[in-house]
């Protein structure tokens, strides 16, 4: 990576001490999915690195995004009076890919234990890619509803709803030291896949009906918001509270406990300003690119938080990728642009600025991910996508292999 390094000595020393601890009380996960994954992983060759499973699963979400974007770039395919113009087979492929992603995401940790390669790199790699998938997966469903039933400004808040659900879990771990796996994740994966399969069998037009003005899109929003408020947010708040009350967590001061929210809130505020006050209404003209831009920067913030909580170091209060974003928003939303510059910002110019910033942020985020993984591999003398004798030896020195989970306390190394 040349002279640029993303991990300090404090990060690396923290990774050396790190052990992954999680608690999973979801009945679907504990009694159905884990036994299924334990069975399936027996058919995976032991020479296959667990990170390969993780990466292949992530690629399935990328394939879905590209495939649906090709047929419905502007989320307008469902607006057609003759029915959704996206071919039926696309929904089937997307549904299958979601299940592949979900199951490989559940099997990678078990493959790591089978091969004796459990360690912090696997968890970082897994959760880092999950943060990117969190931005991609909800976008698939927007094409079922179209911009008539789900306008881009409402898409914006639903995307942020998913960001919040994902991020809070890692804020919780940053303060408690334990990953309390949310119930909603397993049901969400099956729900998304089921919605896509239904679109194949009965046609996506079924998602456009309404009863007394209450549409399927409204129901989708209601369930998405309600599931977080009922099954996730209050439980996370309670777990953090109990960790302080019982002195089992990190016992950070109040402002340090809240520090992970600073970058998250800054990103939300900046994106809200652009979404509402763009001089050329960019949110309605290029919503898909906006979601990718916002999702990429969110993923970078989440990855840096994951690095901090795994290495037990202080997380960032601001993300470097938000500086060019804030400057861009300032230009695109400046109220006196025409008076000051004697010309107005054209729609095409704002679009090109958006495209350029998205490309820059994506490349910067990829560089960060590649850099962090490379630095960890160099430090622990391991390979990301290959199992070697040195890999096993290094990981065995780093951590003990943890036994498979009990129903109420699932502790596993990824």
Name the pairing type of β-strands 210-211 and 22-24: unpaired
| Cβ–Cβ < 8 Å for 196, 142 | no
Among 314, 287, 315, residue whose Cα is nearest residue 301: 315
Task: Output Rg (C-alpha) for the chain, integer angstroms.
Answer: 22
Determine the Cα angle at 67 with ends 66 and 68, to 5°: 95
Concatenate the DSSP letters of all residues of 157-185 into one string: HHHHHHHHHHHHHHHHHHHHSSEEE-HHH
Distance of alpha carbon 366 from alpha carbon 155, whole angstroms = 25
Distance of alpha carbon 333 from alpha carbon 177, whole angstroms = 41
Q: Is 381 a catalytic residue?
A: no
Other CB atoms closer than 10 Å to residue 62's CB: what's the count?
15
Distance of alpha carbon 76 from alpha carbon 247, whole angstroms = 52
Catalytic residue, chosen from 127, 148, 233, 365, is 127
Q: Please list the helix, strand and coil fractions of the chain in percent, rounded to the nearest 5, in that order.
A: 75, 0, 25
Q: Which residues are catalytic?
A: 127
């Amino acid at each position: 990576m040349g002279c640029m390094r993303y991990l300090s000595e404090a990060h690396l020393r923290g990774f050396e001490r790190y052990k992954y601890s999680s608690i999973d009380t979801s009945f679907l996960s504990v009694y159905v999915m884990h036994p299924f994954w334990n069975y399936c992983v027996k058919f995976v060759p032991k020479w296959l690195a667990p990170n390969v499973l993780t990466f292949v699963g992530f690629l399935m979400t990328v394939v879905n995004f590209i495939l649906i974007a090709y047929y419905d770039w502007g989320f307008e395919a469902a607006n057609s009076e003759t029915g959704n113009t996206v071919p039926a087979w696309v929904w089937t492929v997307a549904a299958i890919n979601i299940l592949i992603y979900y199951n490989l995401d559940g099997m990678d940790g078990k493959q790591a234990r089978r091969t004796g390669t459990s360690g912090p790199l696997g968890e970082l790699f897994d959760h880092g890619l999950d943060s990117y998938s969190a931005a991609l997966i909800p976008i698939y469903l927007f094409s079922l509803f179209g911009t008539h039933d789900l306008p881009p400004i409402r898409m914006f808040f639903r995307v942020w709803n998913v960001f919040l659900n994902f991020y809070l879990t890692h804020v919780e771990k940053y303060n408690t030291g334990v990953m309390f796996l949310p119930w909603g994740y397993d049901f969400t994966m099956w729900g998304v896949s089921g919605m896509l399969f239904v679109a194949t069998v009965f046609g996506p037009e079924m998602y456009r009906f309404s009863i007394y003005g209450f549409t399927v899109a409204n129901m989708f929003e209601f369930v998405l918001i309600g599931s977080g408020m009922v099954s996730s947010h209050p439980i996370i708040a309670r777990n953090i509270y109990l960790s302080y009350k019982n002195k089992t967590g990190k016992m950070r001061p109040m402002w340090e406990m809240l520090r992970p929210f600073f970058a998250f809130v800054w990103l939300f505020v900046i994106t809200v300003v652009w979404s509402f006050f763009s001089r050329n209404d960019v949110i309605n003209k290029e919503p898909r690119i906006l979601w990718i831009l916002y999702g990429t920067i969110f993923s970078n913030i989440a990855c840096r938080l994951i690095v901090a909580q795994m290495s037990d170091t202080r997380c960032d209060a601001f993300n470097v990728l938000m500086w060019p974003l804030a400057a861009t928003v300032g230009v695109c939303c400046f109220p006196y642009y025409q008076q000051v510059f004697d010309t107005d910002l054209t729609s095409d110019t704002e679009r090109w600025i958006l495209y350029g910033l998205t490309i820059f942020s994506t490349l910067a985020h990829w560089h960060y991910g590649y850099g962090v993984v490379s630095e960890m591999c160099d430090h622990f003398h391991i390979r990301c996508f290959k199992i070697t004798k040195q890999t096993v030896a290094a990981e065995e020195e780093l951590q003990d292999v943890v036994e498979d989970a009990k129903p109420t306390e699932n502790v596993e190394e990824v």
